[in-house]
Amino acid sequence: MRSLADDVAHLIERAEPARRPAARDTVERHAYGGGAAEVITVLSERTPAPARARPHGIRIEQTVEIDRPPVVDDDLRARLQGAQTTSLLLVGGSGWGKTTLARWLAHRRGRPLATLDLATTGDRSAASLAGEIRRGTTAGMTLFIDNAHLRGPAALSLLVGVAPEPWTVVASEAPDAAHLVDQVVTLELPDIAAIEALLRTDVCDVDARTGRVLAALSLGETPASIVRGIERARRFSSMTEVSVPDALRAVTLERFSTWSPRRRSDAALALLRLGDLSQRAVSAVTGVSRDTLRRRGAA
C-alpha cells in the first residue's frame, strides 16, 4: 500500500498528467478503496518544513482579518462578546484555538492588533520587549501576548502592565498569569455542534448528515488538528477530481484509526446517539463491535 501511495503521490505532484482520465481513475480508485489517506500522508511528508524564523518582537495589524470563526460553543462566544473587561487570559493546550479566539475578539473590536508571540522572541529580554510594546502600541489597540507560559511571572507582569491602556488578551497553556487579568477563560475541546459548524464554514459542499458523522468521528480532536485535516483533504481534492467531502472522510477515518480503543468507542457511541446511522452502520464505519456499542449504550 505504501509503495502504491508513493507512486500515486508522485503522479499527483505532476499536475498535468494527474488530470488525464487514466490517472484520475487510478487516484479515485485508490481513494475510494480507502487509500486516499495514505496518499495524503505521502504528500504531506514531501512538503518541505518551513524555515525557522528569526527572533522578533511585536507585529502590528491595522485591520484584523480572520479565516474562520473560533471553534467554541455558542454560550462562550456570547459570553465573550458581552464581557465588560479590559484584560483576558485564555488557557488551553497547544492547538486548542487560543490564537484564533484572540484574533476573532480583536476583529470584533474593529481596532488594530499588536501581537507578541513569546515563542518567536528567542532570548530577547523582557525589558527589551516591554520597551518595544511601549513604543509600538497606542491606547485602544488590542495587545495579544501569545505563548505566555514560556516566560516567568515577573516577565509577564512587566509585559502586561507596560502598554498604554490597551485591551489585553494573554494566551497560555497554564493559568499562572490569572492574577494579571480581569477574566480567565479555560478552553475545552470542541463538541459535535462546534465541529459541525466548522465543517459547514470550511467545507461548503458537505451535507448535514455527513457533517454530523464527521464531527462525531472528530470528537476529542483539537481545532488545529481538525483544520489541518480539512486542509489536507482540500489539497488532495485540488490535485484530483475527488470531492473535498470524500477526501475529508478518508482523512478523518485515518486519524480515527490511530486512537485508543476507549476513545474510538466513545466517538462511536456519540455517533450512534446522533441517530443518523444504525448500530450496524456505526460499527462498520468505526470498527467498534456492536457488542461494545450495546454494552456501553446500556451503561
pLDDT one-digit tens code per residue, 84-96: 788 999 999 999 9
Domain region containing 215: 2-48+190-287
SS3 category, 171? strand
Spatial CB neighbours of 14, under 8 Å, sequence gap ≥ 6: none
Q: Span 58-77, mean pLDDT?
A: 91
Smallest CA-to-CA distance from 54 within 117, 114, 143, 100 is with 117
In a shared domain, residues 149 and 168? yes
Residue % of the chain over a pLDDT of 70: 80
Is there a domain that residue 107 lies in? yes
pLDDT surpasses 60 at 195: yes
Q: Measure the CA–CA gap between 285 and 67, rounded to whole angstroms.
A: 31
Is there a domain that residue 298 lies in? no
pLDDT one-digit tens code per residue, 29-38: 554 455 555 6
* Residue with more model confidence, 161 or 30: 161
Instruction: Classify residue 251 by burial, with Cβ atoms within 10 Å: 0-12, 13-18, 19+.
Output: buried
pLDDT surpasses 60 at 196: yes
SS3 category, 146? strand
In a shared domain, residues 141 and 217? no
Is 31 in contact with 237 (CB distance < 8 Å)? Answer: no
Is 37 in contact with 253 (CB distance < 8 Å)? Answer: yes
In a shared domain, residues 170 and 234? no
Residue owning grid cell 473590536 = 109
Q: How many domains does the chain have?
A: 2
Residue % of the chain over a pLDDT of 90: 60
Domain boundary at 186, 218, 243, which? 186
Q: What is the pLDDT of residue 299?
A: 58
Is there a domain that residue 244 lies in? yes
pLDDT surpasses 90 at 48: no
* Residue with more model confidence, 233 or 43: 233
Report the chain's mean pLDDT, rounded to a whole number. Answer: 84
CATH number (domain holding residue 132): 3.40.50.300
In a shared domain, residues 181 and 200? no
Q: What is the pLDDT of residue 9?
A: 52
Q: Measure the CA–CA gap between 253 and 202, rounded to whole angstroms.
A: 18
Smallest CA-to-CA distance from 115 within 59, 194, 184, 180 is with 59
In a shared domain, residues 247 and 181? no
In a shared domain, residues 85 and 101? yes
Q: What is the pLDDT of residue 23?
A: 47
Tell me the pLDDT band of 52, cut-offs 50, 70 and 90.
low
pLDDT surpasses 50 at 108: yes
Q: What is the pLDDT of residue 203?
A: 87
pLDDT surpasses 70 at 76: yes
In a shared domain, residues 122 and 196? no
Q: What is the pLDDT of residue 127?
A: 95
Domain boundary at 146, 171, 186, which? 186
pLDDT one-digit tens code per residue, 209-255: 899 999 999 999 999 999 999 999 999 999 988 899 999 999 999 99
Is there a domain that residue 93 lies in? yes
